[in-house]
A = this chain, B = another copy of it.
Amino acid sequence: MSFTLDPHLERECFTLGRLPLCHVLLMDNAAIPWLILVPETDVYELCDLEPAMHQRLFQEVHLLSRFTRRYFPTDKLNVAAIGNIVRQMHLHVISRRRDDYCWPGPVWGTTAPSRYDGAQVETLRLALASELAGAGFE
């Protein structure tokens, strides 16, 4: 299939790179580390994925979960497939802290209190490239 990233994700996120199945995005909310994985599929619901793709998707979710937890102070990871606004399948991997601005509420639907600058995004991209090169991140 030819892949086009949903325009809403394109507008709200930076693209950090990709893993074998998923494009890896960073939500432009500098207060909360918030990665988004977008698998190349035209399926909308997790329960409709072929088992092999589901398994691969969660391998990549777990890689990024563990990376996020190592890289950012994290009290709880939030992992979710919601898709009420953006129908294209995407998985959220979010690092929450007890002192973040919307704890313990959900971050979805809140307004980012600050945005990233290009240097911060590039630093994160390099960290991912360094730590996940063996997993095929590029």
Contacts and interface: CB of A to CB of B under 8 A. Distances in A.
Interface stretch (A20-28, A34-42, A79-87, A120-128): A79-87
Interface stretch (A9-17, A60-68, A111-119, A129-137): A60-68
A47 interface: yes
B109 A105 contact: yes
Interface of A: 44-47, 54-55, 58, 61-62, 65-66, 69, 76-85, 87, 96, 103-106, 108-109
Given A47-B62, A54-B58, A108-B106, A81 B84 contact: no
A47 B76 contact: no
Contacts of A44: 76
Contacts of A46: 58, 61-62, 65, 77, 79
A80 B57 CA distance: 15
A14 to B, nearest CB: 23
B84 A103 contact: yes
A45 B65 CA distance: 9
